[in-house]
Amino acid sequence: MERFKPSQDFPLWAGPNVLVVLCVLLFATLGVRLWYLQVVKGDVYHDKAQENRIRQRVLYAPRGVIRDALGTLVAENVPAYAVAVVREECPDINATLDQIAWWTGEDRQWLQKSFEQGKRRTKSFEEQVVVPNIPFEVVARIESERHHWPGVSVVVRPKRFYPTGSLLAHVLGYVARANDKELAQDPELLLGDNVGKLGVELALERRLRGRKGLEEFEVDATGRELGSHRLYDPVAGEDLHLALQLPLQRAGVRALAGKAGAVVVLDADTGHVLAMVSSPSYDPNEFVTGISQERWNALIDDPLHPMQNRPIQSAYPPGSVFKLVMAGAGLSTGAITPSTTVYCNGKYSVGNREYRCWRRGGHGKVDLRKSIRESCDVYYYALGERLGADAISDFARRCGLGEVTGVDLPHERSGLVPSPAWKQERFGRKWVGGDTINMSIGQGYVVTTPVQIARLVAALVNGGRVLRPLLLASDMPEEQGRLPMSDATRRLITDAMVAVVQEEGGTARVVARPGIRVGAKTGTAQVVKLMERYEKKETQEIPYKYRDHAWLAAFAEKDGRRYALVAFVEHGGHGGSEAGPVVGAMLDALFGLGEAP
């Protein structure tokens, strides 16, 4: 009993008081903590609770479909599957990514990078796409095992499909996964989104893409979905109709089969593009789900460059097609009249150098009509000297050469119309007489694209209007300028072009069609000056890289319809014999004279 006797230094009333103080402190602490959580951090925890209970889901908008002028689908959407994660629901995100890599066969490091990139653009408890495209058999495997992997889901999204394959690849382009730069520049994009990379898909990306929707849904404590409502609906991209006609396009592809080249057909009165062929081509569907490095290397290493859009990106010497510009310049400036003659003996001397006509024996006495009909070089050598380089350059630019046409396709080349000032600035050398001689027959530094030549020919027959080439059927004609020549001059030139097709000695008689007024101008453009041992060889006997390029620019008129047609065959040889049959095939398709499309 002595051992439990209260101390004289610790009064009996002190025990309850200490307990009271402790209780007060405890309740005060709890009260402060409650105030902190309810008042100071109330909004934060309210939001977290809402996120945990109320979640949001992105609703993907279908991309606008594309049809040809006859209503045939050429770019559409099909369902595609993607793997997504809600990272807050994944107990072990690394293990989850390991499993996704095993399901899909994706590289684990790439998957980690994809996940880390997507985190920055995905809210808490929001689905984050980590593998954009998976085949259906993988979907079935994931769905059968997904209950073991909380936070993993399969998302259905629209995917681009090009039913015509390579037929329209250079016009349509393709869509593919947005890269880091595109994601950084466009806040509307999410990781795994596809965007236009080339062609119309790139040029009209904003109109085709549409806008994503957003859905809110409630879940219980186990993550089970209880109900949903849409905050806003997705808006589908704009459907587009091309002016381009598939049967005509097929005719061009058939005509260029096995060759590298281009075909352009324009409605001469509106500028609408009815056909635009680049050969060889590629299948844009290969890019939609991600092309393999091996296949990509094969495409870019192909010596015929199937990824190059030749109608707008191949800028080559126009050869004798340029004589149409020279004739217009000569008549418009008064340097020549239709009856002005030049005697061609097969060669022309400038200083101590001799330039030859393509016909070694010469054309004899040549006037304007004969010069175009038989494509006499000497006539244009003489005309070039009369005009001078600056006058030729100025006139050619006013005809629309040396500048992009503005067609709705990316990466168009402007070509080049040289001048003495340009040469001095570019090479630091003076322009010499030989430069003028070369330019006079479309050689030397002057280069043009097939679509530029098509626009020029269209202007010759539509009243002189230089029109922007239009890919969309709904676009109204857009006049970019006027040819710097009178109606009478244009008639003289187009009549001479008809003579090229209709009269004896014409270089494009292969494109003559009964009942149709067809005019043309051939062009054979040297790639390099041929070595002497190849000069008398047939085209097939010359190494491919040394062969000339073949051009044929034409127009066709019947029953009020007017068209401009251009065929270009890379290293094809002679314009009439190589590009001529291509234009002939297009005329047959245009006027229903050829085989069924």
Q: What is the pLDDT of residue 351?
A: 85
Q: Encoding tokens for residue 86?
A: 């809600």
Q: Where are the alpha helices (DSSP H) in 146-268?
A: 169-172, 180-185, 199-203, 205-209, 246-255
**Sign for the pseudo-dihedral over CA of 478, 481, 487, 489:** negative
* Per-residue pLDDT reduced to its tens digit, 375-389: 999 999 999 999 999
pTM value is: 0.85
Number of H-type helices and E-type strands within the chain: 22, 21
Per-residue pLDDT of 391-400, as tens digits, reads 999 999 999 9
Neighbours of 556 (CB within 10 A): 25
Q: Is 215 left (phi over 0), alpha (psi -120 to 50) or beta?
A: beta
**What is the tens place of the pLDDT at every residue in 33-89?**
777 767 766 666 666 555 567 777 888 899 999 999 999 999 999 988 999 998 888
Q: pLDDT tens digits for 3-40?
A: 445 555 556 666 677 777 788 888 888 877 777 767 76
**Which residues are within 8 A (CB) of 41 and not within 5 positions of it... i.e. 6 or more apart?**
none
Question: How far is the C-alpha of 363 from the C-alpha of 344, rounded, in Å?
Answer: 5
Please provide residue 428's backbone torsions phi and psi, each rounded to the nearest 5 degrees.
70, 25
User: Which pLDDT score, from 0 to 100, does residue 275 have?
Assistant: 98
pLDDT 10s digits, 154-211 = 988 888 999 999 999 999 999 998 888 898 888 888 877 889 999 999 999 999 999 9
Q: How confident is the prediction along the chain (597 residues), in pLDDT tens digits per residue?
A: 444 455 555 566 666 777 777 888 888 888 777 777 677 666 666 665 555 677 778 888 999 999 999 999 999 999 889 999 988 888 899 999 999 999 999 889 888 988 888 777 777 777 888 888 888 889 988 988 888 888 898 988 888 999 999 999 999 999 998 888 898 888 888 877 889 999 999 999 999 999 999 888 887 766 677 777 888 999 999 999 999 999 999 999 999 999 999 999 999 999 999 999 999 999 999 998 788 888 999 999 999 999 999 999 989 999 999 999 999 999 999 999 999 999 999 999 988 899 999 898 999 999 999 999 999 999 999 999 999 999 999 999 999 999 999 999 999 999 999 999 999 999 999 999 999 999 999 999 999 999 999 999 999 999 999 999 999 999 999 999 999 999 999 999 999 999 999 999 999 999 999 999 999 999 987 776 555 556 666 666 666 667 788 999 999 999 999 999 999 999 877 767 889 999 999 999 999 876 544
548's tokens: 């000339």
Element holding 102 (H helix, E strand): helix 93-104
Find out whether 175 and 297 touch, Cβ atoms under 8 Å: no
Contact 176, 282 (CB under 8 A): no
The residues that are catalytic are: 320
